[in-house]
Each structure stands twice: as C-alpha cells, then as structure tokens.
Amino acid sequence: MAFLKRILRNLFARAEAVFDWTFGQSNNPFSHLGALGWYFFWIVAASGIYLYLFFDTGITDAYASVEYITNDQWYAAGIMRSLHRYASDALVIVVFLHILREFSLDRLRGKRFFAWITGVPLLWFIYICGITGYWLVWDSLAQYIAIATSEWLDTLPFFGEPIANNFLNSSTLGGRFFTLMVFMHIFAPLFMLFLMWLHIQRHARARVNPPRALAVGTAVTLVVLSLVYPAVSQGPANLDVVPASVNLDWYYLAVYPLLEVIPGGQLWLVLVVGSIILSLMPWLPPAREVWTPVVSLQNCNGCGRCFDDCPFGAIAMEPRSDGASFALEAVVDTHHCVSCGICTGSCPTATPFRRTSAIVPGIELPDNTIADLREKTMAAAQEFGDEARIIVYACDHSGAEILRENNSQVITMPCVGMLPPAFIDFALSRDFADGVMLAGCAEGDCYYRLGDDWTIQRLDGKRDPYLRQRVDRDRLETSWLPSGSSRRRVRDLQDFKTWLEGLPPKERKRRRNRD
Ligand code: HEM
Ligand code: SF4
Ligand code: SF4
C-alpha cells in the first residue's frame, strides 16, 4: 500500500508542478479538489432548478420539453442544460482525483477516517443522481439505460414483479417508474448535499469554496464548452425498436458496458464488496498510535487561541476545573485529535525565551515538547561548518530530510504550524544561526490542513502569536512546496544560502547585532 501511495504521490507531484507553473500555487486546482466538488455541485443544482421550470415530468412529453430547452431556448435553458451536464462530468473527474490524492497523501488514516468513510456513500449518490438524470431525457440513450438498469435491478431479490416489464414495448410503457426516476433525481441530490455536509464535519473551517480566480476560470471554461459543444439528445426513445448504437457518457455510464460481460448479480457483488473494501482503507494496515497533546493547567490562561487554530475541531474551551482565576481552560478531545501540534504553535505560553524550569507551555505533544525543540535548536548550532548557518524547521511531510545533505541543520516536527514564531527570534537573536528556513507543504495544501495558513499569518503579524517586528525578515526564508518536490526544495535552500553568503561579513554581523 505504501508503495502504491508513493507512486501516486510522485505522479501527482509532477502534474501539480505543471499546474503550479500555469495557475500559480494558490490557484492550483489539485489543492482545491474538494472545494471544486462543492462548486460543481452548486452549478449542477442551480442549472437543474432552472431546467426544471421548462421540463415536462410526464413520460410522453419529456423528450419534447428537453428539445424545446435545447433548441428553442438554446441561449438560456440550452446553456443551462450543457452546464448541468458538463459540471456533473467535472464533478466525477474532481471527485476521483480527490479520492486518489487524499489516498496518496494518507489523509484518511487513524482518526482521519471520518471523511473517507462518509465519502464512500457519496460516490454511490453521485451515480444515482447522474444515471437518473440521463433517464429523464427519454431519448434512445435513456431507453438503453432504462432497460439495462431495470434488468440489472431485477437481479436483486427485492422486487416482486420484474421492473423490466415496464419497458417491453410501447404498449407496456407506464409512467409510474419514470415518475419515480424524476422523484429520485430531485431527492438524491438533497441527500447527497446532506452527505457532503457530514463529510466535512470533522474539519474546522472546511474549504468548500475554491479561490475566486479558479472559480471564475472554471465557470468561463464551462460556459465556453457549453456554447461550442452544446449537450444534445440522441433521438426519441422508441420501445418498439432496439437502439442500434448510443453514445455513452463514460463518466457516469461506464458500468453499462460491463453488464454486457458480467452477470448483473455478480456486478452488484463486485460493487458492494468494492465499497466495503474502500471503506476499510483507513485501517489497512492499522495506523500507529500517536500521542495527543497534554494541557498544563498551570500554564493555560484560557485564551482560546488553540481552540481557534485546531484544524480538526479537537479542542473545547470548558469552565475552569482548577479554581484558577481564568474563566476557561482548553480540553483536548483525544478521539478527534490527529496530533499535528498546531495548538502548541498557537499557544502564547510556548516560548523558548522562558527560563528552562518554566518551559512547559499551556499545551504540547508529550513526544514533541517545546523543551525538546529548544534543545534541538541549541544543539544544531554546535554542528555547523564554515558556510552560512541555516536552521531548517520542517514538517514531517515536506520531504525536507534531503536538506540535511546541504550543510544545514534540519529540525522536523509533525507540522510547521507547531513552531511558535518565537523560535525564529530565538535562533537568530541568540546567534544560533545566520538564517532560518521554514519548510512545509504547498501553500493552501497543508497535510494538517491549516498549518501553513496559520504560519504565514503569524509571520505577517496577522495572527497571534505573531513574529516580533525586530526579527530581520531577510534572514527568514519559507519554502512551501508539495512533498516530492525535493529538487525545488534544495534549490530554495541553496538560493537562501547563496544570498546569506553574498552578504559582506560586516553586513552579516550588523544584521546579527541588530536582532
Ligand atoms: C461530492 C463529493 C465530495 C466532495 C464535494 C468532497 C469535498 C471535500 C472537502 C471540501 C474536503 C475538506 C477539504 C479541507 O477543508 O481540507 C474533503 C476532504 C476529504 N475528502 Fe472529500 N469530497 C467528496 C468525496 C469524497 C470521497 C468519495 C472520498 C473518499 C472515498 C473523500 C475523501 C476525503 C478525505 C480523505 C478528505 C480529507 C480528510 C482529512 O483531511 O482528514 N471525499 N472532501
Ligand atoms: S494536535 Fe492538532 S488536532 Fe490535536 S488538538 Fe492540537 S491542533 Fe488539534
Ligand atoms: S492557547 Fe495555550 S493558554 Fe491559550 S487556551 Fe490554549 S493551551 Fe491555554
């Protein structure tokens, strides 16, 4: 499994590098696949509501109403029909990429299982919505789907009377089943929306909107596509004639050719067993147990910053239990906490400048303490050679280990968001290093969701605890890159080192003294 993830990760890294170059890192669609899923859902929902105004829900007039939509009102309802189709197709594409990417990044394991297992029924609903939608057009493709689906459903032992009898010929055609499809095509998306909401319940500040430029670019592409290749029907359904050939939408209908080669019952079995295996992925193999943060009430003043910053909503602020004069205290929900350490980075009491005896902050991971980080920073200073001395604080997912070979000292932690900004000040002002580099995941695509966002805001003085003004920003470098971008990471470090070494010795000293 780890090997498969590595291969996928490398493939994504290559594709993402191209998109980074084209769209810029913050608008890279790969970093916003979940948000794009929401976006396409809303386009499908809005265009669907518009189409419903003109659609005739009776089986005899459905086709004619869709023809009216497509031809007579091509400039409005016609475009809406195409948008409805293309946004639905795009939804399937982004969801499959989203699944593969989350899998390759391992963002499904251990306590992060929830989004994954709620995603599995979502997949089923996406298909129910798509297939029932194609049915409603009542053209020759819909006829093919209606017959194939009802024969397939008849292989299940639930239906007394075979459903396929409805579609034997035009005299047996009843509107009952068609009405059921209309009903399902309206209610399945509502249930899908509920599942989408459930899907992100363990995410604080879930990203459900793509960045504006990406949203506008995507909408314009869909409109242009709709004008150039409008969605059309494939000739009216006629149950007295078997359709000679139909054009399939492979995003939604790929299962139908399979029915030609696999018996329906077996295909159900494959899909159900496949879904069960997919649902078990977060535990294949079981994730290693990790420590969750410990709150030290002696040092917690109840400020709530850790509560604001936790990306997984794993901290609650509760009434004080130790009689201290503060109103609240932080309490960690160990079932939701994924041990990213970001709460430590946000705690105002997590600072290396305190006396060693008082170095325990309000909240920290027992296996990655602030005292350890301070020790490592001081130890790093002993290891430097003659070149510019750079301490790299890197997250475990940045692949920054490779930077060790470049005469720099790398201190890793679960997420860069765990690093209190005071450490940068500490390393520079105490002359432990000439420069500090922070190496984390790509901007807006942190393994722990929000670690890089919070770090950037803290460095810019927009979020507490912020980096003090006195720190010389020229001696701080950040490298936000996807894991697997080792060469670009090394280049970032080399550039920084070259810049630091290019400083005349006097200037280096002046800058050091200024801190
Ligand atoms: C309509 C379909 C889907 C939509 C709209 C969607 C949307 C999202 C969104 C908005 C996020 C949160 C991103 C963030 O704020 O960090 C997310 C996370 C995630 N989704 Fe989906 N998703 C869909 C389907 C799926 C499916 C089918 C799966 C897998 C079977 C899946 C697995 C995940 C995982 C593993 C995460 C990350 C969880 C974590 O960070 O702990 N999603 N999705
Ligand atoms: S370690 Fe991460 S997930 Fe756990 S409480 Fe702290 S910020 Fe939240
Ligand atoms: S950030 Fe620190 S001091 Fe503030 S509530 Fe959390 S643990 Fe307590």
Q: Are residues 242 and 318 part of one domain?
A: no
Within a domain: 249: yes
Q: Are residues 93 and 38 part of one domain?
A: yes
Q: Are residues 275 and 339 part of one domain?
A: no
Q: Which of 258, 283, 308 is the last residue of a domain?
A: 283
* Largest separation between any pair of C-alpha atoms in the chain: 96
Within a domain: 15: no
Q: Which of 229, 248, 283 is the last residue of a domain?
A: 283
How many A from CA of 98 to the centre of ligand 1?
A: 7
- Range of the structural domain that residue 489 is part of: 294-514
- Number of separate domains in the chain: 2
Q: Are residues 309 and 172 part of one domain?
A: no
Q: Are residues 371 and 275 part of one domain?
A: no
Q: How is residue 431 written in tokens?
A: 């002359």
Q: Whose CA is nearest to atom 11 of ligand 1?
A: 34
Ramachandran category for residue 106: left, alpha or beta (phi over 0 → left; psi -120 to 50 → alpha): left
Q: How many CB atoms lie within 10 A of CB 2?
A: 7
How many A from CA of 303 to the centre of ligand 3?
A: 5
- Per-position pLDDT tens, the chain of length 515: 788 998 998 899 889 889 988 888 889 999 999 999 999 999 999 999 999 999 988 878 889 999 999 999 999 999 999 999 999 999 999 999 999 999 999 999 989 999 999 999 999 999 999 999 998 998 889 989 988 998 899 888 887 777 777 776 666 666 777 788 889 999 999 999 999 999 999 999 999 999 999 999 999 999 999 999 999 998 888 777 777 777 888 899 999 999 989 999 999 999 999 999 999 999 988 888 889 999 999 999 999 999 999 999 999 999 999 989 999 999 999 999 999 999 999 999 999 997 766 789 999 999 999 999 999 999 998 888 777 889 999 999 888 778 876 668 999 999 999 999 999 999 999 999 999 999 999 888 999 999 999 999 999 999 999 999 999 999 999 999 887 778 888 999 999 998 988 876 666 555 555 55
Q: Are 451 and 459 in contact (CB under 8 A)?
A: no
Within a domain: 327: yes
What is the C-alpha separation between 130 and 119, in angstroms, rounded?
A: 17
- Report the pocket of ligand 3 as residue ranges, CB < 6 Å: 295, 300-306, 330, 346-347, 349, 362-363
Q: Are residues 383 and 360 part of one domain?
A: yes
What is the C-alpha separation between 51 and 84, in angstroms, rounded?
A: 9
Q: Is 103 in the pocket of ligand 1 (CB under 6 A)?
A: no
Within a domain: 6: no
Q: Are residues 404 and 353 part of one domain?
A: yes
Within a domain: 96: yes
Ligand lying nearest the CA atom of residue 44: 1
Q: Whose CA is nearest to atom 2 of ligand 3?
A: 347
Ramachandran category for residue 502: left, alpha or beta (phi over 0 → left; psi -120 to 50 → alpha): alpha
Q: Are residues 278 and 300 part of one domain?
A: no
Q: Are residues 329 and 261 part of one domain?
A: no
Q: Are residues 88 and 146 part of one domain?
A: yes
Ligand lying nearest the CA atom of residue 203: 1
How many A from CA of 191 to the centre of ligand 1?
A: 16
Within a domain: 498: yes
Q: Are residues 198 and 313 part of one domain?
A: no
Q: How is residue 217 written in tokens?
A: 């670019």
Q: Is 374 in the pocket of ligand 1 (CB under 6 A)?
A: no
Within a domain: 436: yes
How many A from CA of 506 to the centre of ligand 2?
A: 43
How many A from CA of 463 to the centre of ligand 3?
A: 15
What is the C-alpha separation between 93 and 242, in angstroms, rounded?
A: 31
Q: Is 339 in the pocket of ligand 2 (CB under 6 A)?
A: yes
